[in-house]
Structure 1
């Protein structure tokens, strides 16, 4: 009995396990993700002032004549009205910062939960996709932060002369977060296209035939998804998405060519197999006897 209790269960090399074990593993991974994000949120809570300065910088780039300054110093400030608004805003910023800063760590937890059920070549692609997803999301957020100042200025200046914006910190943080998340998620488009191509859902021939429709839909998505209504922000999202979409099409072209070449080589090897008898005509025909003696 002691030996049975101390004996460890051997892990299935193919990653198969009962349903209850899957649920326990999922629970363990979710708890690990929550702990990771919570630790990152503690870091965001401690450095809240520095993070808020970074997020507030695009708004502070708007000319002073369009910004209301409730204090006599004329500094760039955000206001709040409710008693708990300051606390909830700090908590929101800390949670967002924790999720962003620890992104690769909790993404790894998702990958570790999926990996046991994948084959060796699929695991290799999964590592690449996780790394590419992190880089693309970071690139989208960086671009959103760069164009945010220009978009804010265009929006605030629409009020006209004699008006000034006095933004609350909660609404501004929500707006900036939405911009960062939308741009980051939009930059995942080429990765989704490549994954669909590698899995056999989308072929290069279909992508090439629907390229113009795809580009049109990208601009429609950019016009709807961007919180601002100015064409500058829309083009700032749409043009990089079009370039990334074109890059994914070219990756699909290379992948489909290699796949077709491997299939052709496999058919050739099957045709030359020594264990497969050659087909011989029972009655020869079409012979030329004109030169025979």
Structure 2
């Protein structure tokens, strides 16, 4: 009888955590769906906004086309859905934080909150950098490099695919300072050791940029250089202040 009671008491925390996880996932999904429904009414306008840098770079005789029969319907809705996920990301991350925060120590929470907020800001900054800086350069390059007698008619699905890939690539690339600081602060690698691997890291950055960007050198370099700079910034911030130092200071004060 006692063993049965102990077994039930041990299962209850796990069951309550699973229920809480399901609840927070459901909330996140509902928020994404609600935002998507609201944005679906403006799906065509959103695609016009997305394709504006390309349209401004197109030759006078060129225009966007739809090769697939369903592309005029699904391409704008796909964009609206992805943007809904981007917009809902702070809420989704907040739900994740509310789930894991009870298991963190006080000093861990004091560092986790600024990192969470800064990671969101950096992700949005990467998307903005891609749209306002990278899109005009890449689309201008791609629309001018072809032979003179070729009529450049980009497909709307291809444009969307390249744009979303660049959004994700630069959004993730701008998270490099956070990842660098977490690697050093967690003790997985020392600051000096990570700094000594800089040549290999730079090569890895260019390979990563090659895999995430369209097959042209311009977009690869435009992604790799900011990633390199962000990596160096991560090293600087990680060396300037460490949560382990803060924890030691708190213990000394006590």
Shorter-chain TM-score tier: 0.7 to 0.9
Query: 2:175 is matched with which residue: 188, 194, 200?
Result: 188
Q: Is the 8 A contact 1:79 1:168 kept in 2?
A: yes
Let me know the Cα RMSD of the aligned residues: 2.6
Distance 1:46 1:161, change over 3 A: same
22-31 or 234-243, which moves further after superposition? 234-243
Query: 2:43 is matched with which residue: 36, 41, 48?
Result: 48
**Counterpart for residue 149 of structure 1:** 136
Q: Is the 8 A contact 1:43 1:98 kept in 2?
A: no
Q: Is the 8 A contact 1:155 1:228 kept in 2?
A: no
Structure of higher CA gyration radius:
1
Q: Is the 8 A contact 1:141 1:184 kept in 2?
A: yes
**After superposition, what is the alpha-carbon deviation per residue over 1:11-65, rounded to whole angstroms, capped at 9, x for unaligned?**
xxxxxx7111111111111100101111111222122233112101121122325
21-30 or 160-169, which moves further after superposition? 160-169
Q: Which runs of 5+ in 1 are unaligned?
A: 1-16, 70-76, 270-293
Q: Is the 8 A contact 2:191 2:235 kept in 1?
A: yes
| TM-score normalised by structure 1 residue count | 0.74
Say yes or no: does 1:247 pair with 2:242: no
124-133 or 26-35, which moves further after superposition? 124-133
Distance 1:261 1:169, change over 3 A: closer
- C-alpha deviation, 1:179, in angstroms: 1.0
| TM-score normalised by structure 2 residue count | 0.85
- C-alpha deviation, 1:257, in angstroms: 10
- Tell me which protein shows more helix as a share of its residues: 2
**Counterpart for residue 59 of structure 1:** 54
Q: 2: CA distance between counterparts of 1:143 and 1:218?
A: 18
